[in-house]
Chain A
Amino acid sequence: MAGLLQQPGYEEERLQRMSELLPCREIQAGMLLSIMGQPEQYCYPSLFIFGHRSSGKSYVIDVLLKELELPHASVSCVECVSATLLFEKVLLSFFGVDAASLLPRSPSLSDFVRIYKQHSSQFPAKQTRYIIMEKAELLRDAEANLLPALLRLQELVEDNVTVILLSEIVWDTFRPNTGCFEPLLLHFPDYSKGELQQVLSRDRHPSYSAEFYSSYINILLGVFYSVCRDLRELRHLAALNFPKFCEPLEAGKVKETDTHKLWKNIEPHLKKAMQTVYLREVSSLQWEHMQQMEEQETGALRGLSAHTHVELPYYSKFLLIAAYLASYNPARTDKRFFLKHHGKIRKTNFLKKNEKTSNHLLGPKPFPLDRLLAIFYSVVDSRVAPTASIFSQISSLVTLQLLVQVSHSDQLDAPKYKCAVSLDFISAISRTVNFDIVKYLYDFL
């Protein structure tokens, strides 16, 4: 597809080399290049490039500016926690150290523009200067005047400069209340399945044939494509699972062409990988170890989320159980569950399920401290005195984030709490103290 990148003012061979570096992105690169124009011509003051994660936004820009050796400053908004760092970086990459050192201690935008103007009049731009802002969505949280000023920087500093914003989020959420200079919007579309295959097949293993690797990629995409279209993630998974795919070949059981057998071998393995590596349950290093150890069944290692068992004191366990019951049961059913002689309650009235949605769908409800203690005393068998230790256990459950205090934290009388643990967790806890929690839950009656 070489030849799509054509733009006068640049060397032919560089463009040629670039188009080899940018597989499946020639159209976008060509369009960007044609908007940028020849190096000494003016470019549109600000461009906004959006597209999904790892759709090659920063890569394309990076390759374009580096290969064509255009003056540019690339800034990641994650790194630049304050505007000072941003100004420093821009001045440093355009005018060198002495310009950056001129900035006062906490510079305003006005200082930045003044120093920029001063230097750009000394060294006028022979070529368009580019400022690339990655993760531009973070600019919205910065000072209110930063984004509008960056968008019209060309006008403010009176220099041939273009600001390129890269983001995953659409432009509509960026626009300030009073409006701003509208940037030119460019969309980087997602890679299609064929394009993903093409890009992923490029980094094949040298000791195997291209068709072999490409068939492997095909199988990989078949499993993961419906969940994940992130090129980076897929590439990582491809690199991780390739040794397993080659295993029967190494052992001499099958030939390279025997795709079906290879597929049979790898498919359950990939399915397991989706539940473990894809969710970062098992780290990539552990996964590699597991592949090497034949005897150990994949996935037998407990992942991060399996370590939910927490050792708690006896009363804390009951406090947590009581909190769970208080959160997920409506208060009017407490009498029925926890009072020994609760009198007559009509069964039909009690079990009115006209509210179809269960509490486990809506999430935990807040409850006052009194109710927690009342349920606690009724579920715990022995007599417990309301000592300071009980109350301090409640507050330490809050610091462990097993409970959440809903009301304001300095409220001493009648604070409200919510239970923040899952059903699995609480059933595990109640099993250790021989308490059948499901019997007491309204949803499961």
Chain B
Amino acid sequence: MESGCRSDLHLPLSYEPHYGGIVVDFEDDIIWVRADPVVCVQQCFPKLRSGPKVGSQNIKSCHIMSKRKVQNAHLPIGECISQVHQTLRERFCHQRLPERPEGVEAQHKHLEELLRRTAVHGESNSVLIVGPRGAGKTTLLKCVLRELSKESEVQKNLLQVHLNGLLQTDDRIALKEITRQLHLENVVGDKVFGSFAENLAFLLDALKKGDRSSSRPVLFVLDEFDLFAHHKNQTLLYNLFDVSQSAQAPVAVVGLTCRLDVLELLEKRVKSRFSHRQIHLLSSLTFPQYVDRVRAHLSLPDDFPDRKFAQEWSASVKTLCEDKSAVEVLQRHFNSSKDFRSLHMLLTLCLSRVSVTKPAIRPADLLDASRLCLADTKASMLHGLSILELCLIIAMKHLNDVYGGEPFNLQMVHNEFKKFLQRKSSSMYNFEQPVIMKAFEHLQQLELIRPVEGSAAKTQREYQLMRLMLDHSQIMEALQKYPQCPTDVKQWAMSAFA
């Protein structure tokens, strides 16, 4: 069977014959298509129509496949692989929500309880979710919101406003965004009218008029909360917290931040209005749990079309997680960080190596991916320098050794380099000053050396003081790996005091 058909589809998770049409189950909502099957396939998947191999055969196979899914048929290997890519890429790259957040049951319960009280009973609340980057703050909140939105009462009641500190950089923009997301009266289409003061008065009025029993509760989600604290006078935060403290329209303010000292950033009047409720997401993961998580993240969902392939895949994942070298790699990553994101990066790299000829992740792939993740980037840049530039770096290293890390200029470096050339008889590296300056400037461009003070215009180029941004060990390591490094240069670098 040809693989062109299935791999072209968008988000096909499952489809079953239904009322003479198909049901395509997307992430959240279900789209019902009631039509003739052939027409509907063409509607849903316009790529099929435009593709070169369009024919009834293609569509027929698609249709047949949907029937065969019930009988648990085997798909060709190419399709299985592309299904695996589809599923896992959505998980790693798109941060698709898991069924349940892992390891944060207590926090999950706390937050859910809190938001439910706002949504159902009209209680005003404020809470901060604090945790390092990649600890799953947004995932936790989204999971809670997903569960709450399943309840019909909450769904028709709760209004949500999502703000991000990166996007709404000042209060004026944030206010417009709030007005837009709440669909208040001064919004026409997508545009908001009125000045900042008008907007604020309008919004506060709208919030004040409400009371606990009658008006709909509003949930404010402030992503990158610490950036909101840098706004002028913290007007937005003050007003939001003020509404949450007084008996006005019920609001819940949820802040997400990665700064532990975020309360110190708040002004006194803002701080006193905040409820001081914090949910900390600090990972208490042990290594066996980490390996379990790797396995869970690599596993395929239960509704994977080809049961047999899914079994093979999970067996291969299981052997991977038990393999000694793979465990070693994972341990190394665990020691450097425990967050989801760095794990996802590693697994994405592993996944990108899975292909039709290699339908499983092997320990060697994991090793390669880890090498790519943990590679020293500066050392790899040093690898590409020319001999002259490398010699200059060695001269700088010697200057650093002799003068205890004092800044240097080009003249000193050149002088040091000339000393090396004098000791050597051959004049292989006798370059003129301008050529050396060009190399020096290239090093500055790569930010391997950096000027001590910014006033570049005030001093001549050869007398500008610089600092080396490299470590002693980095230079020595790069020298070992350098292709066809001349022996005398190596010797020169080794000699402690030139």
**B79 — nearest CB in chain A belongs to which residue?**
A8
Judge if B259 is at the interface, Cβ distance under 8 Å. Answer: yes
Do A34 and B411 touch across chains, with their CB atoms under 8 A apart? no
> A275 near B435 (CB under 8 angstroms)?
yes
Q: A45–B95 Cα gap in the complex (Å)?
A: 10
Q: Which of A176-204 contact B (CB under 8 A)?
A: 178-182, 184-187, 189-190, 192-193
By the criterion CB–CB under 8 Å, are B384 and A189 in contact? Answer: yes
- A363 lies within 8 A of B169 (CB): no
With A42-B89, A305-B434 known to touch, is A187 a contact of B380 (CB < 8 Å)?
A: yes
Q: What are the residues of chain B within 8 A of A207 when measuring CB–CB? A: none
* Contacts A187-B377, A227-B388, A404-B458 given; does A37 touch B435 at CB 8 Å: no
Interface of A is mostly: loop
Interface residue? B8 (CB, 8 A): yes
Among B78, B168, B259, find the residue whose CB has the most chain A CB atoms closer than 10 A: B168
Chain B 69-96, CB-CB to A under 8 Å as 1, else 0, gives 0000000001001100110011011110
Collect the chain B residues with CB atoms within 8 Å of residue A420's CB: 459-460
A173 to B375, CA, bound (A): 16
Find out whether the CB atom of B348 lies under 8 angstroms from the CB atom of A52. no
Do the beta carbons of B352 and A40 come within 8 Å of each other?
no
A187 adjacent to B356 (CB under 8 Å)? no
Determine whether the beta carbon of A275 is less than 8 Å from that of B432.
yes
Q: Are B353 and A41 in contact (CB under 8 A)?
A: no
Please tell me if the beta carbons of A178 and B93 are within 8 angstroms of each other in the complex: no
Closest chain B residue to A191 by CB distance? B384
- Complex Cα distance, B329 from A113, in Å, reads 39
Residues in B with CB closer than 8 Å to A37 are: 85, 89, 352
The reply on B463 being an interface residue by CB < 8 A is: yes
B341-A182 in contact (CB<8A): yes
A114 to B300, CA, bound (A): 35
Residues on B with C-beta less than 8 A from A118 are: 190
The answer to whether residues A8 and B82 also contact, given A172-B378, A228-B386 and a CB cut-off of 8 A, is: yes
User: How near does chain A come to B24, taking the closest CB pair, in angstroms?
Assistant: 14
Residues of A within 8 A of B165 (CB): 145
Complex-state Cα separation, A313 to B375, whole angstroms: 60
Whole-angstrom distance between the Cβ of A164 and the nearest chain B Cβ: 14
> How many residues of B are in contact with the other chain, CB < 8 A?
76
Tell me if B133 is interfacial: C-beta within 8 Å of chain A: yes
Within 8 Å of chain B (Cβ to Cβ): is A399?
Answer: no
Q: How far, in angstroms, from A156 to B133 measured CA to CA in the complex? A: 16
Question: What is the minimal beta-carbon distance from B43 to any residue of chain A, in angstroms?
Answer: 14
B472 at the interface (CB under 8 A from A): no
CA distance A279 to B432 in the complex (A): 11
Q: Does A28 contact B (CB under 8 A)?
A: no
Chain B contacts with A in 131-185, Cβ cutoff 8 A: 133, 164-169, 173, 176-177, 180
Residue numbers in B under 8 Å from A149 (CB-CB):
166-167
* Residue A278 at the chain B interface, CB threshold 8 Å: yes
Chain B residues within 8 Å of A126, by CB: 10, 47
Whether B227 is near chain A, meaning CB under 8 Å from some CB there, is: yes
Compute how far the CA of A148 lies from the CA of B484 in the bound complex, rounded to whole angstroms: 40
Are A361 and B411 also in contact (CB < 8 A) when A149-B166, A182-B345 are?
yes
A193 to B384, CA, bound (A): 11
| Contact, CB under 8 Å: A110 / B95 | no
With A and B bound together, what is the CA distance between A226 and B355 in angstroms? 41
Looking at A34, A143, A193, which has the most chain B CB atoms within 10 Å of its CB? Answer: A34
In the complex, the answer to whether A145 meets B377 with C-beta atoms within 8 Å is no
B7 lies within 8 A of chain A by Cβ: yes
User: How far is A6 from B353 in the complex, measured between Cα atoms in Å?
Assistant: 11
Is B384's CB under 8 angstroms from A404's CB? no
CB of A156 within 8 A of CB of B166, answer yes
Report which of A110, A143, A227, A362 forms a contact with B168, defined as CB distance below 8 A. A110
Q: What per-residue 1/0 map shows which CB atoms of A377-410 lie under 8 Å from chain B? A: 0000000000000000000000000001010000
| Chain B 400-414 interface residues, beta-carbon cutoff 8 Å to A | 409, 411-412
Query: From residue B380, how far is it (CB to closest CB) to chain A in Å?
Result: 5
In the assembled complex, the CB of B388 is this many whole angstroms from the nearest CB of chain A, namely 5
**Contact of A129 with B by CB under 8 A:** no
Q: A137–B380 Cα gap in the complex (Å)?
A: 18
Residue of B164, B168, B378 ringed by the most chain A CB atoms within 10 A: B164
What residue in chain B is nearest A229 (Cβ atoms)?
B386
Which residues of the partner chain A approach B166 to less than 8 Å between Cβ atoms? Answer: 109, 145, 148-149, 152, 156
Which chain A residues border B412 with CB–CB below 8 Å?
A: 357, 361-362
Task: Give B18-46 as 1s and 0s: 1 = Cβ < 8 Å from A's Cβ atoms.
Answer: 00000000000000000000000000000
Judge whether B345 and A8 touch: CB under 8 Å: no
Quick one: closest B residue to A50, CB to CB?
Answer: B377
B82-A34 in contact (CB<8A): no
**B167 and A109 contacting across the interface, CB-CB below 8 Å:** yes
Partner of B167, one of A113, A154, A172, A227: A113
Question: Hey, what's the 0/1 contact readout for B427-438 against A, CB within 8 Å counting as 1?
Answer: 011011011001
Contact B384 A155 (CB under 8 A): no
Inter-subunit contact A44/B258 (CB<8 Å): no
> Whole-angstrom distance between the alpha carbons of A404 and B463 in the complex?
13
Residues of A within 8 Å of B353, CB to CB, are 34
Closest to B94 in A: A42
Give the Cβ gap from A216 to chain B, nearest Cβ, in Å: 21
Do B386 and A227 touch across chains, with their CB atoms under 8 A apart? Answer: yes
Q: Which 3 A-B pairs have the closest CB atoms?
A: A363-B463, A190-B384, A34-B352
List the interface of chain B (C-beta within 8 A of A): 3, 7-8, 10, 47, 78, 81-82, 85-86, 89-90, 92-95, 133, 164-169, 173, 176-177, 180, 190, 226-227, 258-259, 341-342, 345, 348-349, 352-353, 355-356, 372-373, 375, 377-378, 380-381, 383-388, 409, 411-412, 415, 428-429, 431-432, 434-435, 438-439, 445-447, 458-460, 462-463, 483-484
Q: What are 22 A-B pairs with beta-carbon distances under 8 A? A: A8-B78, A8-B82, A35-B348, A35-B349, A41-B85, A44-B93, A44-B345, A51-B384, A108-B173, A113-B167, A114-B177, A149-B167, A156-B164, A172-B377, A173-B447, A189-B383, A190-B384, A192-B483, A229-B386, A278-B438, A305-B434, A420-B460
Identify 15 new A-B residue pairs, CB closer than 8 A, beyond the known A40-B10, A229-B386: A38-B85, A41-B85, A109-B166, A145-B165, A154-B94, A168-B446, A171-B377, A181-B133, A186-B372, A226-B388, A362-B409, A362-B412, A363-B409, A406-B458, A418-B459
